[in-house]
Copies of this chain bind each other. A is one copy, B any other.
Amino acid sequence: MDDRLVRSVGVELSLVTVDLAIFTIRGGTLMILLVERGEEPFLGRRALPGGRVRSGETLDEGARRELMEETGIDGARLHLEQLGAYGDPGRDPRGRVVTVAYLALGPDLPEPVGGTDAAQAHWIPVGDVLEGRASLAFDHERILSDALERIRGKLEYTTVAAAFCPEPFTLTELRTVYEVVWGRGLDPSNFRRKVTGAKGFVEPTGDQRAQTAGRPAALYRRGDATLLSPPLLRSAP
């Protein structure tokens, strides 16, 4: 985008983009999907997938389209919600770019096979980014930490945790979601009571899954409820 061009039209216009913070859990680790930038600025640096919003689409539609284009993931299967707008004047060296960040959660998703964009997407442990072992383009680290904080909070009073589990799932798998996101162990028996007692959180399928060892676990699918009340608090009392 040419900054002079924008000034010439008389009113301040901005480029509006969507950026996606897509999370999944693989092997007991919380992962974020990042692309390697194929152009300036921040060429070669990792970034959240995203792109321009097109003229006919809503912001949500733009987010789903970018999700598909950059990662090959069908947004219909994911939990997708808006996180917020980020528009500091200095966040993009090319000029004013306002981005609307989205938060997406999905069950163990495949390693994306190069989207239509040249950029290749990869799953990276969230810890690697937050502890400084990988630095992101633009203000994407800020977006990532806001997204993570949002998830941590939402696990308390909603049923979104189930969005991380491929159906059908066991209660241990669901509990692992909480443990990985909160970085804290939960008592299996109390967790079970809470989840099965909350109407509409999970529905038993009636089937079981055999493990390599131990008693087979009952299988569940997601229920209709989205809110969890009373909440399941993360604070250790």
**Is B9 a contact partner of A53 (Cβ separation < 8 A)?**
no
Indicate whether A213 reaches chain B with its CB closer than 8 angstroms.
no
Give how many copies assemble into the complex.
2
- Chain B residues within an 8 Å CB radius of A53: 12, 14, 87, 98
Checking B9, B89, B100, B233 against A230 with a beta-carbon cut-off of 8 angstroms, the contacting residue is B233
In the complex, A58 Cα to B88 Cα: how many Å? 5
Closest residue on chain B to residue A233 by CB atoms: B230
Report the count of interface residues on A (CB-CB < 8 A).
Answer: 34
Contact A84 B84, CB 8 Å, known A12-B52, A16-B98, A235-B229: yes
Sampled A-B contacts (12; CB under 8 Å): A11-B52, A12-B15, A12-B53, A12-B54, A13-B16, A14-B15, A14-B53, A14-B98, A16-B16, A16-B98, A59-B98, A230-B235
Indicate whether A185 reaches chain B with its CB closer than 8 angstroms.
no
Interface string of A207-232 (1 = CB under 8 A from B): 00000000000000000000001110
Shortest distance between the CB of A168 and any CB in chain B (Å): 30
In the complex, A231 Cα to B56 Cα: how many Å? 42
Pairs of residues from A and B, 3 with the lowest C-beta to C-beta distance, nearest first: A13-B13, A85-B85, A59-B87
Closest residue on chain B to residue A3 by CB atoms: B55
Shortest distance between the CB of A91 and any CB in chain B (Å): 9
Checking B1, B11, B16 against A87 with a beta-carbon cut-off of 8 angstroms, the contacting residue is B16
